[in-house]
Amino acid sequence: MTTVIGGDRADARRNRARVLAAAVEAMAELGLDVPLGEIARRAGVGAGTVYRHFPSKQALLEAVFTQHLDDLVASGERQAARCAPTEAFFGFLLDVVELSSRRGHICDVVTGDRTWPRPLLTAALLRFRQVLAALLHAAQRAGGVRADLTPGDVVALTVGCVSTLTARRDRSAGLKLVRLTLDGLRSTTSVTKHPPFRDGCGETVTTCGESVTTCEECGAALTARTTGRPGRYCGATCRQRARRRRLAG
């Protein structure tokens, strides 16, 4: 009897895909302690098949998180193909927040455990960061996103949005807060101009009958100079911040 090797490989790929899909579903519903037997039952395969593809629970966790990142990469690529740069960027971030809020426990465990090799996860993280950076830079070039943001800034803010959404029982209310937070990434030219963080920065105000000039950056009162040009900043730190902002703009 002739063995069809190609057919065997196709069956193996299908079984692995079933196990992975069942693991994503079971862990989202029951948490990380779900038995591998339950995952095998949902996948419609034997326990031996699960262990053949994923010899340990950690290997299965890595595969689940890698699949999650690949799903996000696919979302980013779809957004880039269908939408204008700014809409693609914000649509991608919303997808990241919504999908990750359902699988945050997996992310925490996998990223926190440094005791086992994670080549698949490392490669998936690289693909995710590349898509994020491409979408961010395209939106910045289009003038829809602040020019001083880095991919690292966006990741940190997105993690906070995931926590916000996870903590709210009312998902619609949580998404409202997420959108309000993400709006802070928009360029000042793409939204209605907001008042300065501190009212009166860089202006001369009257206090107890005396004129007081404030720092253009932080709003602190400046010491009056008897000679030379009036000061604009309270010190070197604010001067450097202002310079960086001008260069970024």
Judge whether 76 and 135 are in contact, CB under 8 Å: yes
pLDDT value, residue 216: 62
pLDDT value, residue 198: 33
DSSP 19-57: HHHHHHHHHHHH-TT--HHHHHHHHTS-HHHHHHH-SSH
Length of the chain, please?
A: 249
Judge whether 46 and 40 are in contact, CB under 8 Å: yes
Q: Is the pLDDT of residue 224 over 60?
A: no
- CA dihedral for 171, 173, 175, 177, sign (positive or negative): negative
Q: How far apart are CA 125 and CA 99, in angstroms?
A: 16
pLDDT value, residue 195: 38
Q: What mean pLDDT comes out for the span 114-127?
A: 79
Closest CA to 26 of 15, 37, 14: 37
pLDDT value, residue 194: 43
Q: Is the pLDDT of residue 42 over 80?
A: yes
Q: How far apart are CA 43 and CA 21, in angstroms?
A: 8
Q: Is the pLDDT of residue 203 over 60?
A: no
232 pairs with which residues across the strands? none
**Which one is predicted more confidently, 241 or 157?**
157
Judge whether 58 and 102 are in contact, CB under 8 Å: no
pLDDT tier for residue 8 given thresholds of 50, 70 and 90 = low
Looking at mean pLDDT, say which of 8-12, 152-156, 199-203 comes out highest: 152-156
pLDDT value, residue 4: 45
Q: Is the pLDDT of residue 197 over 70?
A: no
Q: Is the pLDDT of residue 79 over 50?
A: yes
